[in-house]
Structure 1
Amino acid sequence: MTRRRKQQHKSPSVIIIGTGFGGIGMAIQLQKAGIRDITLLEKAGAVGGTWRDNTYPGAACDVQSHLYSYSFEPKHDWTRKFGTQPEILDYIESCVRKHNLEPLIRFNQTVESAEFDEQTNQWQITTGAGDTFRSDVLITATGQLNRPAMPDIPGLEDFGGESFHSARWNHDINLEGKRVAVIGTGASAIQFVPEITAKAAHLDLYQRSAAWVLPKPDKTFTPLEQTLFAKLPLWDRLYRGMIYLKNEVRALAFTRFSGLLEFFANRARNEARRWVTDPDKLAELIPEYRIGCKRILISNDWYRAVNEPHVNLITGGITRFDETGVVSETGEHRPADVIIFGTGFRATEFLSPIHITGRNGVSLNEAWANGSKAFKGITVSGFPNLFMLYGPNTNLAHNSILYMLESQFRYVLSALRALSRYPGQAMDVREDRQSRYSQVVQRGLDGSVWEAGCTSWYLDEHGRNTVNWPGFTFSYRFATRFVDTADYQFLKPRSENV
């Protein structure tokens, strides 16, 4: 009898794809829940996700350090209010060391395919290294900002100089005295352009559309402040809570009362007028679209950098690249020694390029032919025991994604507890529940500032917002507080039905 009870509550085996904040945090929580059969597959040779990949000069977070960290692993000695890339990466690595996760990680394992085996109710994962893994549960933690987007402009292969994407920064190239062309003025360019302006002899900045840029309220923490955070845990939690509440209020402006954002638009305009003395540049740097429709950026040195006399702001399109530079739509040729792409990421292509196959041989690409959608941003009908972290409509414009991830950790753990009561079975979210949930989310996005008519990475090829969460983060946490098994059907392996 004792053996049977143990068997009835057997923990499922778990494979996690990715070792950024999502994958590492999920692994820690699985361990705390007593689950031991865990494997993490990482395409690179080190952990860190986007904070491992984005090492460009000036790389930093635009969410406050104390909130951009796990609630269950507080860091008291942040050096700045907004963490820099090296410090954030060090934090992730420290969490790996503390929880002894490295033995669970298989590095240099790029997942190429994952197929659900209905005979055994297991996932079979194949990697580019030629290895095959099997598990009861598959958790994807690949993030939304892991695949650099390159513009479809001909001629780059003919360019005789150096070129690279900001997410794959080439530190071996010395920009001192070089003619540099930067393509794009998004979140990454806002950070690295001021860092390279003083080095470049000449910098051409190609802007497709201007960004709303606000001052960054950054500061260094004094040793006394760090000591207080460490010695008074209650103060540390209170400080984190105050940041959370202040950020959370902004959800109202993005989703229901976008007129409130005009205050910030005026602040951005004033900041531009304060630093940019060239009237032509100033006119091009202030966006025409409604603030918030695209990602709002923060920087204290962007406008000063663009105002430099050796920086040219070019707003016309690019026709092609050639051996020595860039050719614009007007036919003007501008020479360049180095081309840097600050063109962002393919954020709406969730889980690509992994080929995922669920029940009845249906691929995830087929299931999402009309746009990505997932129940609570985590599970997809027809793909049993597949759980996504940072899936469709779970991104934020106003608060920390780690808060959303921790909500998802809890939901996944609740699902695994349900599975442990039915050994060998798989749980598949019901199509009607998924459709109803997706409709609610899309209705919530109606009237939001993201629907104001601009083109942004929040929208997929169908013009549908598959990225952002349309409300408060605490409402998402409430919605994911536990798994309601009525939302799922539990499937026995086909081998048992023979």
Structure 2
Amino acid sequence: MNSAPHDKTRIQPEVGDRPIRAAVIGAGMGGILAAIKLRERGMQVVVFEKGHGFGGTWRENTYPGLACDVSAHWYTYSFARNPDWKSLMAEGPDIRDYFDRVAREYGIDAITRFGEEVISLRYADSVWNLQTAADHGDTFDVVVAATGVLHHPNIPHFEGIESFEGDVFHSARWDHDVPLDDRRIGVVGTGSTAAQLASALVPRARRFDLFQRTAQWVLPRQNVPYSDEERARFRENPEELEELVRELRAKTLEGYAAAVIDVDSPELAAIERLCRENLDTVRDPELRRRLTPDYRAACKRLVISGTFYDAIQRPNANLVTAPIQGIEPEGVRTADGAFHDLDILVLATGFLVDRFIRPTTVVGRGGISLDDVWAEGPQAYLSVSVPDFPNLFLLNGPNSPIGNFSLVEVAQHQIEYILQLIDGIRHGEYAEVSVTPAAMRRFEDDRCEAARKTVWVTGCDSWYLDKRGVPASWTFSYDRFEEEMARPRMEDFDTR
């Protein structure tokens, strides 16, 4: 891994700079990044992590077949490339190890309080008063919430599930004590997690039932391994590795990122053609019909897999499309009257993606509650700032670019933007900074207007959509995102 010790990259404070204490909430990808970059600015940083290790979603998800569907070399910090990825898309344990190594090499382990969930943030007298569930209290000048979105499991209730005599758990709470080989396994869901589980478990199961709630478009992509020679070249020639990152990045942004914001784009037409060609590899016409979505490709997050259709066509695999009527002691009863006897039931039903920093109680200027501000759905200006919550910044927050590209790169753009706002505090230009209500409204109006041309509003029920049916994501071009992140428009901010 190409990285430098943290003390060699630190920017020395200028004479007269105000000392800043910063809290970072979360020790996943975004939290590690924030802590490194804040320390580079010479700030005193404390990281609070509810779990007991680094990695965020890559720590909490440990299910068989777990992998990232974004190219591994692009899914790394630009200052800490990893020449030793084994394949184009990395497996979950290797990603977790990568983030753990970076955190420790940059000394973030020494400033992280593990097992300390932040339960309260209250703003008063230009500081944030922080309280943890372990009864630890402290005050900070700035807070960066890097809590992510894929860590509160969405667990639907099925009638009778308490009576099931087998093993049942959510995919993000995998029980590794449960044996899998030659068992009857059922998985509820058909998103990326379910597709990865099918690919991993069908070869091991006696029978595998996939309870499909909604058919998904699957974009084929083979996970090509890197040879020892290629990895050696990447170690010896960092510029060759950077060129590969540029190629992987350009291929995705020129295809997927352009496609989702313009429903009439040739890029979206190309994605749909690839998905349909992939679907045509399903030999049985009836199975192919049941696997065919009734909405546009990329309306939901694309499943990226070169193995799912092979797995679901195996003799011991069964696609169940009838709705689940209830759970009985020995299996699942579906609405068509069929009974599916099971030893294991896995809920691959996703996450509550509108939580962000919640359930932490956050109270801003004048006693305003974030729960009240977000009562109709979370919103943030450029995904990083909320009116009346000064010196509180979000990484990968509401309306952030999401989808089949690198959230690591997204977070790097956002933290550099946030650092410029914090620099004004450091240099004594102001003590408090948060977006103005007028700028927040203008941004949200523009974002909702832009949403009308996106593929996300073409008629599917997706976790991308909020209560209003508006995509809870970045609806502009990725170029605009980079332009916005280059420098804050200070006229959009309330500084005091």
Q: Which amino acid letter does the alignment assign opposite residue 343 of structure 1?
A: T
TM-aligned CA deviation for residue 335 of structure 1 = 1.9
Q: Distance in 2 between matches of 1:344 and 1:456?
A: 11
In the alignment, which residue of structure 2 is the partner of 1:334?
340
Partner residue of 1:182 out of 187, 191, 203: 187
CA 1:410–1:142 in structure 2 vs 1: closer, same or farther (change >3 Å)?
A: same
1:202 aligns with 2:207: yes
Matched ranges for 1:93-492 at <5 A: 93-117=100-124, 120-250=125-255, 251-256=257-262, 257-258=264-265, 260-274=267-281, 276-422=282-428, 425-466=431-472, 468-491=473-496
- Residue type of the partner of 2:432? A
Gaps of 5+ in 2: 1-12
Question: Partners in 2 of 1:106 and 1:423 — Cα distance?
Answer: 31
Percent sequence identity over matched residues?
33
The residue number in structure 2 matching 1:27 is 35
The structure-2 alpha-carbon separation of the partners of 1:233 and 1:44, relative to structure 1 and needing over 3 Å to count, comes to same
Q: 2:63 aligns with which of 56, 76, 86?
A: 56
Structure 1 distance, partners of 2:37, 2:14, is 21
Q: What amino acid is aligned across from residue 122 of structure 1 in structure 2? A: V
TM-score between both structures, scaled by the size of structure 1: 0.93
Distance 2:231 2:240 in 1: 11
Residues 235-254 of structure 1, C-alpha deviation per residue, up to 9 Å, x if partnerless? 22222112111111122221
Residues 189 and 348 of structure 2 are in contact (CA less than 8 Å); yes or no, is this contact kept in structure 1?
yes
Q: Which amino acid aligns with 2:101?
A: S
Q: Is 1:11 matched up with 2:19? A: yes
How far the C-alpha of 1:258 sits from its partner, in A, is 4.2
CA distance in 2 between partners of 1:174 and 1:436 (Å): 54
Residues 7, 423 of structure 1: 8 Å contact kept: no
Q: Does structure 1 retain, via aligned residues, the 8 Å contact 2:301–2:404?
A: no
RMSD: 1.8
For the 8 Å contact 1:214–1:297, the answer to whether it is kept is: yes
The SS at the match of 1:205 is strand
* Runs of 5+ unmatched residues, structure 1: 492-498
Alpha-carbon distance in structure 1 between the residues aligned to 2:424 and 2:239? 34
> CA deviation digits over 1:113-146, x for unaligned, max 9?
22212xx221122222222232111111011111
The alignment partner of 2:180 has SS state of coil
**Distance (Å, rounded) in 1 between the aligned partners of 2:137 and 2:313:** 54
How much has 1:424 moved relative to structure 2?
Answer: 8.1
What's 1:74 paired with? 81
The amino acid of 2:495's aligned partner reads F
**What secondary structure is seen at the aligned counterpart in 1 of 2:179?**
coil
SS of the residue corresponding to residue 455 of structure 1 reads coil
The whole-number CA distance in structure 2 between the counterparts of 1:354 and 1:157 is: 29
- Partner SS state of residue 150, structure 1: coil
Distance 2:52 2:376 in 1: 35
CA contact (8 A) 1:258 1:449 kept: no
1:179–1:201 contact (8 Å) kept in structure 2: yes
CA contact (8 A) 1:161 1:324 kept: yes
State the AA in 2 paired with 1:231.
E
User: Which residue type is aligned with residue 345 of structure 1?
Assistant: F
Contact 1:325 1:333 in 2 (8 A): yes
1:182–1:204 Cα contact (<8 Å) kept? yes
Aligned letter for 1:249?
E
How many residues matched?
482
Distance 1:429 1:233 in 2: 39
Contact preservation (8 Å) 1:11, 1:416: no
> Structure 1 CA distance, aligned partners of 2:98 and 2:35?
15
Task: Name the TM-score, length of structure 2 as normaliser.
Answer: 0.93
